[in-house]
């Protein structure tokens, strides 16, 4: 038995046999051909097959995880047509009279280097995608791609978790994922979490594990290869407990989120796409506390039109059937880059041109989104929220823009509701000014992810800082308490929609502070409701 520590990127326990994703050998023989034009045709057929596979994957992803996650396969389709890849391979086939596999592997390094050294962060991040495409082509050429199909439940092991690897396999046969590389913010990790598949990265994977029994514990960042009988039965018991816990939690559907001594709070869900509403409803969310609208703006070549956005917001509003839906306006910038915005490269992007700063500098982009949100307000219970606020002046400027948007809608006879507006408290500046800000808006929502980053001067994306990034830091908790006190003085409601809201070890602390709303990933709702109902604040 070997126990290995990695980094969990999606929780859960899985027990099963490991299957390494079969990739074509990295060293391809230099086999020559007598008819290079016939070989070029063979390569073109592989390109056509790859295109067809990507189109099928796009459709499958659209159905299973939603439009925004599926869009990556459109990006792959575009990258597949990059002449730097296709023409160079054909060139090598013709000039060196070699098989396509050799030509492809000989251009691979230079194309990967070109992508990884690009100035544009978005394009740099596409390095893994271009690698994925090259692997797909190689699999088609060598016929080894078929081996990737899991005909029975397996734990999949791969060098890197790519979106296609994740989606290409029938979900019922995918028990878990193990990878050498991977960050919690990659498309693949997001997919794994949406699909509820336990996953662990940063594992020094070994080909010898192929076919061996393993236990992946996404709660303790642990991978156990060839567990002893005793460990296996312990983990099977834990897995059963996990299943039972999930079943028990069903009892917490349809009841209030109220402490045992009568303090009620709102328990909402965070979503990133229209498709996530299903999971929010399934887990009995009382509303949507954070709809990260920027996901609608990623993996595309132009921003979504007013109509496209309107349809998305209206769908969420209608499906939530009168429950509140808080739509956060665009929080692009930093790690969420949209190429079409043509933002300059920044030395310090987390502190740079992002979120409301972009919206206020691009009034057309902002107004299009606001129009779409106001139009959708006629179809449900929508509220508007603004990210990364640092001053009262910003809020006043936003309100002027809202008045302009509403005046335009009035002129056009388009109906809308006068919806609530709120801001995210994610910066120490917003904490200090929380009373003044609360006077301007209907609600505040604390973004503990960014608040921790800015309060502790600690890059939330940097894996080397994992051990230091501490959202339980007393300074962060005191800031949250101060915001609640200041907002309540002027009758303004306060929620938390950062990851900390789901931290059960802090539920009682937040309830004692007087938090009005907690908004968490849909799968966390019932456990949190149970925790709230078991808590007594014992105020006499
Ligand atoms: C936060 O910062 O806590 C938050 C909810 O926003 P995001 O994670 O999208 O930055
Ligand atoms: Mg944030």
Rg, C-alpha atoms of the chain: 25
Q: Lowest mean pLDDT: which of 18-27, 182-191, 260-269, 276-285?
A: 182-191
Average pLDDT over residues 60-87: 85
Query: 29 phi and psi, to 5 degrees?
Result: -65, 145
Query: 227 phi and psi, to 5 degrees?
Result: -65, 150
Residue 51's nearest CA partner among 32, 73, 35, 30 is 73
| Torsion sign (Cα): 158, 161, 162, 164 | positive
> What is the pLDDT, as a whole number, of residue 180?
85
> What is the pLDDT, as a whole number, of residue 147?
40
CB 47 within 8 A of CB 104: no
Residue 279 has pLDDT above 70, yes or no: yes
Residue 125 has pLDDT above 70, yes or no: yes
**Ligand 1 atom nearest 426 alpha carbon:** 2
Residue 164 has pLDDT above 60, yes or no: no
CB 188 within 8 A of CB 169: no
> What is the pLDDT, as a whole number, of residue 201?
87
Query: 515 phi and psi, to 5 degrees?
Result: -55, 135
> What is the pLDDT, as a whole number, of residue 159?
82
Terminal-residue alpha carbon distance, the chain: 55
* Block residue for tokens 């009262």: 392
Strand ranges in 418-483 using DSSP code E only, listed in sequence order:
420-425, 443-446
> What is the pLDDT, as a whole number, of residue 514?
97
**Ligand 1 atom nearest 445 alpha carbon:** 5
Residue 287 has pLDDT above 70, yes or no: yes
Question: Which residues belong to the active site?
Answer: 187, 497
Q: Is the CB of 294 under 6 A from ligand 1?
A: no
If one compares 482 and 339, the residue with the highest pLDDT of the two is 482
Residue from 334, 335, 497, 503 to probe ligand 1 pocket by mutation (most atoms less than 8 Å from CB): 497
CA distances from 205 to 142, 158, 176, 231 (A): 24, 8, 14, 21
Q: Is the CB of 450 under 6 A from ligand 1?
A: yes
Q: Is the CB of 272 under 6 A from ligand 1?
A: no
Cα–ligand 2 centroid distance for 51 (angstroms): 36
According to the per-residue pLDDT averaged within each range, which of 297-306, 326-335, 367-376 is highest?
Answer: 367-376
Token duo for residue 39? 């070989």
Cα–ligand 2 centroid distance for 427 (angstroms): 9
Query: Rounded distance, CA 5 to CA 491, Å?
Result: 48
Classify the phi-psi angles of 139: left when phi > 0, otherwise alpha if psi is within -120 to 50, otherwise beta: alpha
Residue 151 has pLDDT above 90, yes or no: no
Residue 352 has pLDDT above 70, yes or no: yes
Residue owning the nearest CA to atom 1 of ligand 1: 447
According to the per-residue pLDDT averaged within each range, which of 35-49, 287-301, 433-447 is highest?
Answer: 433-447
Q: Is the CB of 426 under 6 A from ligand 1?
A: yes
**Ligand 1 atom nearest 449 alpha carbon:** 3
Cα three-residue angle 8-12-17, rounded to 5 degrees: 90
Residue from 356, 357, 358, 387 to probe ligand 1 pocket by mutation (most atoms less than 8 Å from CB): 387
> What is the pLDDT, as a whole number, of residue 183?
63
Residue owning the nearest CA to atom 10 of ligand 1: 450
Residue 187 has pLDDT above 60, yes or no: no
Residue owning the nearest CA to atom 4 of ligand 1: 447
Residue 370 has pLDDT above 50, yes or no: yes
Cα–ligand 2 centroid distance for 426 (angstroms): 6
Q: What percent of the chain has pLDDT over 90?
A: 59
Ligand nearest to the CA of 452: 1
Average pLDDT over residues 217-245: 93
- What contacts 526, CB < 8 A, 6 or more positions away? 249, 250, 252, 253, 283, 284
Query: 342 phi and psi, to 5 degrees?
Result: 50, 50
Mean pLDDT of the chain: 89
CA distances from 185 to 133, 336, 370, 415 (A): 20, 10, 27, 38
> What is the pLDDT, as a whole number, of residue 171?
63
DSSP category for residue 258 = B
Average pLDDT over residues 173-193: 72
Q: What percent of the chain has pLDDT over 70?
A: 91
Kindly tell me the burial class for residue 138, based on how many C-beta atoms sit within 10 Å of its own C-beta (0-12, 13-18, 19 or more). Answer: buried
> What is the pLDDT, as a whole number, of residue 163?
46
- Is 538 strand, coil or helix? coil
Q: In this structure, which residues have their CB less than 5 angstroms from ion ligand 2?
A: 426, 447, 450
Average pLDDT over residues 291-308: 86
Q: Is the CB of 67 under 6 A from ligand 1?
A: no
pLDDT digits (tens, 9 = 90+) for 454-500: 999 998 877 677 778 888 999 999 999 999 999 999 999 999 999 89
Q: Lowest mean pLDDT: which of 119-133, 229-243, 284-298, 516-530?
A: 119-133
Cα–ligand 2 centroid distance for 181 (angstroms): 25
What is the per-residue DSSP string for 174-221? Answer: EEEEEEEE--TTSHHHHHHHHTT--EEES----GGGTT-EEEEETTTT
Q: Is the CB of 449 under 6 A from ligand 1?
A: yes
Residue owning the nearest CA to atom 6 of ligand 1: 447
Token duo for residue 201? 């990265």
Cα–ligand 2 centroid distance for 260 (angstroms): 32
Residue 143 has pLDDT above 70, yes or no: no
Cα–ligand 1 centroid distance for 531 (angstroms): 23
Q: Is the CB of 461 under 6 A from ligand 1?
A: no
């Amino acid at each position: 038995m070997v126990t290995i520590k990695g980094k969990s990127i999606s929780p859960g326990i899985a027990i099963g046999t490991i299957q390494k994703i079969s990739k074509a050998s990295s060293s391809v023989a230099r086999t020559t051909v007598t008819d290079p034009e016939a070989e070029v045709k063979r390569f073109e057929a592989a390109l056509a097959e790859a295109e067809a596979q990507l189109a099928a994957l796009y459709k499958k992803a659209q159905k299973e995880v939603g439009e925004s996650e599926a869009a990556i396969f459109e990006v792959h389709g575009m990258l597949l047509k990059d002449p730097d890849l296709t023409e160079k391979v054909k060139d090598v086939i013709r000039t060196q009279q070699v098989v396509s596999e050799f030509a492809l592997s000989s251009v691979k390094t230079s194309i990967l280097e070109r992508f990884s050294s690009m100035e544009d962060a978005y394009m740099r991040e596409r390095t893994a995608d271009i690698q994925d495409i090259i692997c797909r082509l190689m699999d088609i050429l060598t016929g080894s791609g078929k081996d990737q199909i899991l005909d029975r439940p397996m734990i999949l092991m791969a060098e890197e978790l790519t979106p296609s690897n994740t989606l290409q396999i029938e979900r019922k046969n995918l028990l878990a994922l193990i990878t050498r590389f991977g960050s919690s913010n990659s498309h693949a990790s997001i997919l794994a979490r949406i699909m509820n598949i336990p996953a662990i990265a940063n594992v020094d994977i070994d080909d010898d594990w192929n076919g061996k029994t393993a236990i992946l514990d996404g709660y303790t960042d642990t991978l156990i290869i060839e567990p002893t009988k005793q460990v296996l039965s312990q983990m099977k018991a834990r897995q059963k407990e996990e299943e039972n816990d999930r079943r028990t939690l069903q009892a917490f559907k349809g009841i209030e989120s109220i402490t045992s001594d009568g303090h009620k709070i709102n328990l909402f869900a965070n979503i990133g796409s229209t498709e996530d509403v299903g999971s929010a409803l399934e887990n009995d969310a009382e509303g949507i506390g954070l709809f990260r609208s920027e996901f609608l703006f990623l993996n595309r070549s132009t921003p979504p039109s007013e109509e496209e956005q309107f349809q998305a917001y209206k769908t969420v509003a209608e499906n939530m059937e009168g429950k509140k839906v808080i739509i956060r306006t665009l929080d692009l910038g930093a790690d969420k880059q949209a190429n079409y915005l043509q933002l300059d490269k920044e030395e310090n992007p987390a502190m740079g041109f992002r979120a409301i700063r972009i919206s206020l500098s691009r009034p057309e982009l902002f107004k299009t989104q606001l129009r779409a949100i106001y139009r959708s307000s006629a179809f449900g219970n929508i509220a508007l929220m603004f990210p990364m606020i640092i001053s009262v002046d910003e809020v006043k400027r936003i309100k002027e823009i809202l008045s302009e948007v509403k005046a335009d809608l009035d002129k056009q006879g388009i109906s809308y509701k006068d919806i609530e507006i709120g801001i995210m408290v994610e910066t120490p500046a917003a904490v200090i000014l929380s009373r003044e800000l609360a006077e301007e808006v209907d609600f505040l929502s604390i973004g503990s992810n960014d608040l921790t980053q800015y309060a502790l001067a600690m890059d939330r994306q940097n894996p080397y800082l994992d051990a230091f990034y501490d959202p339980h830091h007393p300074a962060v908790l005191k800031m949250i308490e101060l915001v609640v006190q200041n907002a309540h003085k002027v009758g303004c409601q306060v929620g938390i929609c950062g990851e900390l809201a789901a931290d059960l070890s802090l539920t009682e602390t937040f309830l004692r502070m007087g938090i009005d709303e907690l908004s968490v990933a849909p799968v966390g709702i019932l456990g949190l409701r149970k925790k709230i109902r078991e808590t007594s604040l014992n105020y006499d």
